[in-house]
Structure 1
């Protein structure tokens, strides 16, 4: 039987959501959902059981003396961007600052940050630079289960295990990824709001050549329905994950992530897998395949024109009056 989840007084957003199923590892529906590319919270996988004792003190004493990738934001939102694309947009303002800090330096910033200001978020690949105890804990992960899922579902290679440590109140705005992800929670609680890839038209992503590619332009706290009218039609799914929970986060599913108040911080580890081989294309195309095709077409047009200023007019000329309804 699935364990009970902790309840929180959660912020309400202006769109309906359904609860993502929380299922036992032995429930046949669990593997059916993973195979179908649908999100599910697995409550007892034991995937990161060997790390559930991790806290800031333990990590500080054992993770190593190297530098760690930390992001700093003046507000609660941590919107990712591609540094390689920044020069394309002269007026682009970076939504967060990248810092390289030792773990004690990060912990100090985390503990001394003023409420609502200078929030920090550590994101570091668990690699050979970490200490022996962390390596032992890492090797103790339930690799047999997650590798079995990788093989059964024909995922590609494991690309990284990312250690995430955030402050309560941190928000990663809505975006989608191009890899499969088993998101394992170790400490604290996170709220996930997900949207099916078929909601693409409602989410208004930035262009592929924009630094915030794969991010939604819509501010969930204050949606601009004049600019983004279809956002009124969006429908989501949500869940709260706590220590020991694993959320299967399928590729191309939009997700916003919020660190909830509990321990003052959250600790998580991701298991990222490349997409598997395409195989025979089956028609009609799935929403995920359509998103992939749109991305490839947009990239091709950008490469051919080699001028971002021309792209909006080019795209509009291709569609307006030909594939849009005439005014009423």
Structure 2
């Protein structure tokens, strides 16, 4: 095939893709019309013609639909409609030179929108993020040393142990294995629902070095919008969620004002949103045990002192500690009744027991419960079986990745 022929084929493919995109959008507008969204359709059509105010109006109308009731009751077409409106806003904002607002709109579309236009959202992010002008270039600052200090905080084990939940209760350390074979993992741990710490399996990940470089993180993700948790943990009254840029998040991590502004990127599908970071990690072979499928891939990123309170999850979990270290305590499923789960359905997988301040008068059955624990070091992974209760606390600036998967025949 000649270069001219190849170029013609590429242009033809682009033209065909554009036709498909337009057909998808037209079909979506028909679906929204059926849902009674006449005002949205009118605004979306004006937005397609270059009207920014109409694009913002369409986005607001779709946003209201997303928040009109429980999330699981939202009509899927409205999630796609929200993504379409975000695309219109981003295209028009970028055309006006407002690159950061364009990226914010695209990130909102990726986080809240449906799957129909995800390819277009990803392509727009790639195009707009790459179009940096001279005023957007990130200038290296003097925070690298402070960043490194945060990562290696509490590297002295004795110092770290002083900050952990009450260790006077009966416990044993989680078994540790190096470069564990898949067969041994399945036979000795997966099938037996037994936790294990595995080392020597993620040293080849680019993330092991790249994520220690704050300038790299700013460069690939600095202008992107992410959801963060602010406060001690999600069970506390003062806890809240915010949308901030990744650069703002990095600044908060380095702040010494932790108690009043403790900020945590927790259980967020960051790697679906920022593909450059996804390329820095790989799915471990252990996640294919049981012949099931990967359910979610989430990031956990924050400063020392962030806590995930005692809770359990429905899937197999491989928790990879990429940067920093964490303390983790685990209780088996059989201990569930003695851990006083919350009675509200939305929190029924969380314990009422605060392991940082155990009230034995209110929760007496906790006192003599057997548990396992470990300090998960940088470069290690912890396998947590389904329904095992676990508490997690960062001992340093920490960046972790959780892989949830289900075995064949399980939802």
Calculate the TM-score normalised by the size of structure 1. 0.69
- Alpha-carbon separation, structure 2, partners of 1:278 and 1:94: 35
**How much does 1:128 deviate?**
4.4
**Residue correspondence of structure 1 range 172-183 to structure 2 within 5 A:** 172-183=308-319
**How much does 1:170 deviate?**
1.5
Q: Secondary structure at the match of 1:65?
A: coil
Which has the larger displacement, 22-31 or 226-235?
22-31
**Residue correspondence of structure 1 range 155-194 to structure 2 within 5 A:** 155=292, 157-194=293-330
Preserved CA contact (<8 Å) 1:19 1:239:
yes
- Are 1:273 and 2:405 matched, yes or no? yes
- Alpha-carbon separation, structure 1, partners of 2:279 and 2:410: 36
The 3 A distance-change label for structure 1 pair 97 and 275 is farther
CA RMSD between the two structures: 2.5
What does residue 25 of structure 1 align with?
A: 179
Q: Secondary structure at the match of 1:153?
A: helix
Preserved CA contact (<8 Å) 1:202 1:230:
yes
**Residue correspondence of structure 1 range 128-207 to structure 2 within 5 A:** 128-132=272-276, 134-138=277-281, 141=282, 143=283, 145-146=284-285, 149-155=286-292, 157-207=293-343
Q: Deviations over 1:123-146 (max 9, x none)?
A: 3313443154x24323xx2x3x42
- Alpha-carbon separation, structure 2, partners of 1:198 and 1:48: 37
Preserved CA contact (<8 Å) 2:165 2:356:
no
The 3 A distance-change label for structure 1 pair 47 and 213 is farther
Q: Deviations over 1:63-112 (max 9, x none)?
A: 36321110000xxx3135xxxxxxxxxxxx74511011110111122223
The one of 386, 396, 407 aligned to 1:251:
386
**Residue correspondence of structure 1 range 69-88 to structure 2 within 5 A:** 69-73=227-231, 77-79=232-234
- Alpha-carbon separation, structure 2, partners of 1:188 and 1:222: 25
State the number of aligned residues.
248
- Identify unmatched segments of 5+ residues in structure 2: 1-154
Preserved CA contact (<8 Å) 1:47 1:184:
no
Q: Which has the larger radius of gyration?
A: 2
Q: Secondary structure at the match of 2:308?
A: strand
By percentage of residues, which structure has more strand?
A: 1
What does residue 190 of structure 2 align with?
A: 34
- Alpha-carbon separation, structure 1, partners of 2:318 and 2:359: 32
The 3 A distance-change label for structure 1 pair 202 and 47 is farther
Q: Secondary structure at the match of 2:233?
A: coil
Preserved CA contact (<8 Å) 2:318 2:402:
yes
The one of 270, 275, 295 aligned to 1:126:
270
Q: Deviations over 1:148-194 (max 9, x none)?
A: x3443233x21221111111011211111111111001111001000
The 3 A distance-change label for structure 1 pair 113 and 20 is same
- Alpha-carbon separation, structure 1, partners of 2:379 and 2:269: 20
Q: Secondary structure at the match of 2:224?
A: coil
**How much does 1:202 deviate?**
1.4
